[in-house]
Chain A
Amino acid sequence: MSTLVFLEHHGSSIQKGSLGVLSKAVSLDPDTSAVLIGSGVAPLAEQAGRYGAKQVFVADSESLEAPLPQPRVDVISRLVADKGFGNVLFAASVLGTDIAGGVSARLDAGLNWDLNDLAMDGGALVGKRSALGDTIRADVGWSSEPRLGLIRAGSFDPVESGGSASVEEISADLEDFSTKAVMVDQAHEEQTGPSIEDAEILVTGGRGLGSPEAFSLMEDLASALGGAVASTRAVVDSGWYPYPTQVGQTGKVVSPKLYIGCGVSGAIQHKVGMQTSQVIVSINKDPNAPIFDFSDLGVVGDLQTIVPKLTELVKERRGS
């Protein structure tokens, strides 16, 4: 058996999530390689070696500069077909998810997603995931090779093992349709204020707030509790609150002592950014909101009336 891990990079560093998946793969299969795809990425191969990759394949071309999925599907699919890897693993991200889906179709290879652990059972890879809003855990497998796995963000920590990898350059032959989507303007890291990652108490406003003005309710409650205000992708996309406050897959991963979600539905993209919070309280009008499945206290009701009352009660309590 042999394993390939896709290493996503941003600027001049490999993403921590990808290195975590690499470390886990190496612990299960010593015959683990990695692949780096981009423009000017060759120098990153050394880093991959330090995290245990035996061999690093590098596709380095200007045509691969923009972080778009389809050219990467071309490169990885050809590499996997040529070398016959048994397992191909990706850290979940916007890019990694789209690549994994494409490779699955290209190679007719089974893909299990949202995995939060991997194990070997008699030489066969087994994926672990939870389902139905974490109300059940499933062990999942594959009926043919290659086995594709998409790993939930933050599942594995990178572990340096101090090795060095041999490097092999591979070509970037791209399909016509893979180059039709072009990057017009690539995301840059935005300036951040005080980080929500450091706050012990987070009051999070979601789309259920109904309007950007309602964030003042979040700010009042956060200030009464001595915490900070966080948000969801839906409200950031809508321009209601700034991106640096966003919790979730494409935002920050937080684990405060107390998380209070107001009008937050608990979509999987948000959940992966806050599920390790110590105590989760949620207020939502919709009794079926998924967030109730993983809240310690769920309140079905109107946040517009509950939150101001709660703010007053907290102030009274702390004043006394």
Chain B
Amino acid sequence: MKETIQNVIEKYNRDRNRLMDILIAIQNMHQHIPEDAVSIIADQLGISKVDVKQTITFYHFFTLTPVGEYAVYLNDSAVANIKGRAEVVQAFEDELGIPFNSVTTDGLIGIWDTADIGMNDQEPAALINGTVFTNLTSEKVKSLITGMRAGKDMLELMRVIDAELDGPELLSTMVKNNIRQKGAVLFSDAYEVGYALRQAINRTPVEVVDEVKRSNLRGRGGAGFPAGLKWDFCRQSRGEEVYVVCNADEGEPGTFKDRVILTELPKLLFEGMAIAGYAIGAKQGIVYLRYEYRYMLEYLESILQELRELNLLGKNIAGKAGFDFDIRIQLGAGAYVCGEETALIESMEGKRGEPRNRPPFPVQTGYLNKPTVVNNVETLCSVVQVITEGAEWFKSFGTSDSSGTKLLSISGDCKNPGIYAVEWGVTIQKLMRRTGANNVQAVQIGGPSGICIGPDQFDRGIAFEDLATGGSVIFISEERDLLKDFVLNFMNFFIEESCGSCGPCRSLNVILRNKLLKILDGNGVEQDIDELYKWAGVGRSVNRCGLGQTAANPILTTIENFRHLYEDLVQMNESFVSAFDMESAVAESCEVVGREPNLSR
């Protein structure tokens, strides 16, 4: 073992900043990171064992104990649950005779919960050793388990359940792209590889930045910061070494647009990164790819190679002397908070993905403390079209504050879940008609960190100035229990994904979830609703990053828009209800010491 670990460390030049890659390789080899490996890594990288361990324990897909030769990670998103996850869980547990989040005694199969894996339009879905299995049923689970027991590889396992495979050979996958509506900016047939890049290098970098600024292109990840301004700030930092980072860590439950872009239009993305590199003077671009999309890695690497062969990456790109730019792909390891740009940078440096204090901003002090532009996948793709067609053309789509188009990942209770390229400003009603969503009780816009609205607001539009979203739209029909199926699931998600750095995020979300449970269990009073609302508002001002600031949104926005659902559950005329039950509270201690509980008083 020592030798193989040594080889991995050598492969990454004993670079402390590549700890993520080292750990990913070892985890894949041994299905966990053995204690011995921790010592060797610490020794070789010149860091303490605690440094190694704190990175390991931060990420969902790194473990200190084996996760099984076949590690099954079943998505636990709200939409997975309404699409029949319980049946799949039951089938796994029955067939294997173990509860979830454990491994069979022979160490062959482990079954684990995991946060949204970006497959909301084809749930229930799971990752098995990094390969995606979608639309699972109890029947398919039985076949998969038989296959795993027979030692089949991933391709064979997909065959076992008669999966239809899509895509080029290096990306043989059963994941469907479900592009339901193409747009002028993305998925238009007009895209010609390399055209925009050649246009860009015929201009000065400042002219390229100005064109992007004029287009009013705003960040597509959710926050909506103007992309051109960000590039300009980075240029003003005047670093000798600067970086372009593509944020492909789309972890917001309900978003899967980046997955589809990466599958369908990787060249568009990489070209966008090269243009950004030219504009800010970077030689290195890095794609931070969420671990859940690891199945695309080989395919994406092959595309990068293709672009190098076309001289669209590498040295003296497209014949422009001195314009050198290349891209590498950095895998994450399962942490929602790494979608926050400073946490993402920490992660790229091999550390725990804890957001940094800002300022300084990444454009001043980013990756390896050098000025860094972090852009979303879709933003970088839009840049290509801005350069090709011009800022005015781009601004002809959308609204005045939100120019261009937006990719929406639509899922939940509708006939045609999938990807829709729409112009900003499109109303919820229109989306409902297009996607075949009927009897809609609520729409969750922007994922759990966004807002939940009811029918009286369905005439509102998707735009930064109205309903802002990074792309997730989830329809929730009348038959769902909004508070239990969605709000509770979302709160559990944030509790699991909080990095734990800020006290109010670490603790308050648990307190809020427990109060919500009290209400769901019928032990709430009206004051509990008021307190929930009041306390939930605190997180916004006292937490460092977007996760902590928005984690209470599921509760805040449902109390605002669906207060009656809470009121139906609480005991309106009581001032206090205790959920405490003496009999169950003393049962265990009495049994342990060997006495009869005395409950007479």
**Chain A complexes with chain B:** no
Name A's B-contacting residues (CB within 8 A): none
Name B's A-contacting residues (CB within 8 A): none
